[in-house]
Amino acid sequence: MKPLSRTDKEIAEIYARHIKTIYRVCFAYMKNSADTEDAVQDTFVKLIRYSTVFESEEHEKAWLIRTASNVCKDILKAWWRKRENLEDYEHLHGTGGIVIDDTLKVVMSLPDKYKTVVYLYYYEGYTSVEIAELLHKPQSTIRNYLHEARNVLRQQLGSDFDEE
């Protein structure tokens, strides 16, 4: 077994810096607090196990977001996995401060390729260029995903959709 490359203090600092973002990314996929907490835990376990060297806090955050997305996708692929009803979890306290409104419900119902891009763009404030780097996709693909997702949001939300 190889020795851990980070101290407990370093892991705790990384956790404190990024837990809210990683929780929200996982919640967008998992749609309930129990599975979200499992995915968040798995993401940070991967951080502990792998000796990835980060160039900056942004690189660290990007790695965690990408890892969290992959962990969630793997969980959702499991044969035993069933989709839960978002409304069943709307009033739980473990949602990490996420307010589940009509817009978020529609965003969470988008296909994964749109959901991730919309979340990173609107909820985390990343630019399309940054998202392209995070997801290792061409910038034109990200812009196209945003365009297509906005059309879906406009159709489903009507006048409630505000692109600001």
List the one residue out of 100, 104, 137 whose CA is nearest residue 119.
104
Q: What is the pLDDT of residues 58-68, one digit of tens each?
A: 999 999 999 99
| Residue-level pLDDT at 89 | 47
Domain 1-87 has CATH 1.10.1740: yes
| Residue-level pLDDT at 125 | 85
Give the Cβ contact number of residue 22 at 10 Å.
25
The fold for domain 101-164 equals Arc Repressor Mutant, subunit A (1.10.10)
Q: What is the pLDDT of residues 91-142, one digit of tens each?
A: 544 445 555 667 777 887 888 888 888 888 887 888 999 888 888 889 999 9
Return the domain boundaries, the chain. Answer: 1-87, 101-164
Does pTM top 0.85 for this prediction?
Answer: no
